[in-house]
Amino acid sequence: MSNPSILILPGDGIGPEVMAQVRRIIDWYGTKRGLVFDVSEDLVGGAAYDAHGTPLTDATMAKAQEVDAVLLGAVGGPKYDVLDFSVKPERGLLRLRKEMDLFANLRPAQCFDALADFSSLKRDVVAGLDIMIVRELTSGIYFGEPRGIIEEGNERVGINTQRYTESEIDRVARSAFELAMRRDKKLCSMEKANVMESGVLWREVVTEVGKDYPEVALSHMYADAGAMQLTRWPKQFDVIVTDNLFGDMLSDLAAMLTGSLGMLPSASLGLPMANGRPKALYEPVHGSAPDIAGQGKANPIACILSFAMALRYSFDAGEEADRLEASIETVLAEGKRTPDLLGEEGVEPVTTEGMGDAILAALDASL
Asked if 336 is an active-site residue, the reply is: no
Catalytic residue among 248, 282, 336, 340: 248
The CA-to-CA distance between both ends of the chain, in Å, stands at: 26
Catalytic residue among 252, 297, 322, 357: 252
Asked if 142 is an active-site residue, the reply is: yes
Shortest CA distance to 68 belongs to which of 270, 265, 279, 271?
Answer: 279
Sign of torsion over alpha carbons 191, 194, 199, 205: positive
Asked if 224 is an active-site residue, the reply is: yes
Asked if 357 is an active-site residue, the reply is: no
188 neighbors 226 (Cβ within 8 angstroms): yes
Asked if 248 is an active-site residue, the reply is: yes
DSSP3 helix / strand / coil % (the chain, rounded to 5):
45, 20, 30
β pairing state of 69-74 and 278-284: parallel
Catalytic residue among 63, 113, 142, 297: 142
Can you tell me whether residue 14 is helix, strand or coil?
coil
295 φ/ψ angles, rounded to the nearest 5 degrees:
-105, 0
Q: Which residues contact 101 (CB under 8 A, 6 or more apart)?
A: 138, 270, 271, 279
Catalytic residue among 224, 235, 297, 322: 224
Catalytic residue among 88, 192, 279, 336: 192
Catalytic residues: 142, 192, 224, 248, 252
